Amino acid sequence: MQKNNLKQNQAFSLIKLISLFIAFGLLVSCASNPEDDTKSIRDSKLTPDEAAKVLFERGENYLNNSNFESAARYFEQLETQYPLSSYTRQAQINLVYAHYKRSDNERAIDAAKQFIKENPVNKQLDYVYYLLGLIHFDKDSGRIENLLRIDRNKRPQNDMQDSMEYFQTLISKYPQSKYVDDSKQRIVFIRERLASHELSIAQHYARRAIYIAAVNRAKNVLEEYPDTQAARKALDVLEVSYKQLGLDDLASDIQRIKASN
């Protein structure tokens, strides 16, 4: 008897669960489509400023709820339909962030650069430069490399270089910005990455007995990134390369530098 009751309760629970899934599916299917919604706002009797406000608030609501695709649609509609609205500039900045969070990096970069060009004295330019730095910084941190365990130090470092330049621009132009401290920390990381990349090339040349090229790359690490961990290893490359080139005096100089540090 108890077994029958248990089976009935399990069946009832399963029916309830299926019903919940069906109800959820209906709610999702009935949810408003942002494209249809923005069209209805445009065609409504609202004044342009009222309509712009509605688009902005709905875009921000989606943004705050991490629905970045829908947020982007509302901000794009606002920018296109009401370019002179008081909400448009903030919507454009929000759009950069929405594209960035959607991993639509190229559109995020284009939108940010366009905003800087059109608004050279905007009070939030520090944030836009910070976003540009983040976008390039995160572009280099692709998940595929994590899965395949690819050594990023051996890849071209164009995005890291661009990221550092945007962070440096932020620090230089807006030293009081709240984003300065984080930018400085990221620059430290980037410099280590760039130095490691240059070191990996020097080591590559040394392994293949191309010692003059190895010397040049190792010296570049020491000149450009003397405060990095890669600099110490660059001294090792220099010492070995000088010895192989028969430049024993220079190799001895490197030994003394290593001993004094």
Per-residue pLDDT tens over the stretch 110-129: 999 999 999 999 999 999 99
When comparing pLDDT for 38 and 207, which is higher? 207
Model-level pTM? 0.78
Residue 14: pLDDT over 50: no
The tokens for 261 are 């540090």
Q: Check whether 10 has a pLDDT greater than 70.
A: no
Residue 27 has pLDDT above 50, yes or no: no
- pLDDT confidence tier of residue 261, bands split at 50, 70 and 90: confident
Q: What is the pLDDT of residue 48?
A: 87
Average pLDDT over residues 45-59: 91
Mean pLDDT of the chain: 84
* Across 45-54, 88-97, 114-123, 185-194, least confident range: 45-54
| SS3 (DSSP) at 47 | coil
Residue 24: pLDDT above 70? no
> Using an 8 Å Cβ cutoff, are 113 and 94 in contact?
no
What pLDDT band is residue 42 in, cutting at 50, 70 and 90? low
Quick one: pLDDT at residue 260?
87
Predicted pLDDT of residue 143: 45
CA 109 – CA 98 distance, rounded (Å): 11
Going 203 to 204 to 207 to 209, the CA torsion angle's sign is negative
Cα diameter, the chain: 95
Which residues, including other chains, have CB under 8 Å from residue 211's CB and lie 6 or more apart? 205, 241, 244, 245
More confident residue, 22 or 241: 241
- Other C-beta atoms closer than 10 Å to the C-beta of 21 total 10
Residue 40 has pLDDT above 50, yes or no: yes
Give the per-residue pLDDT at 205: 97
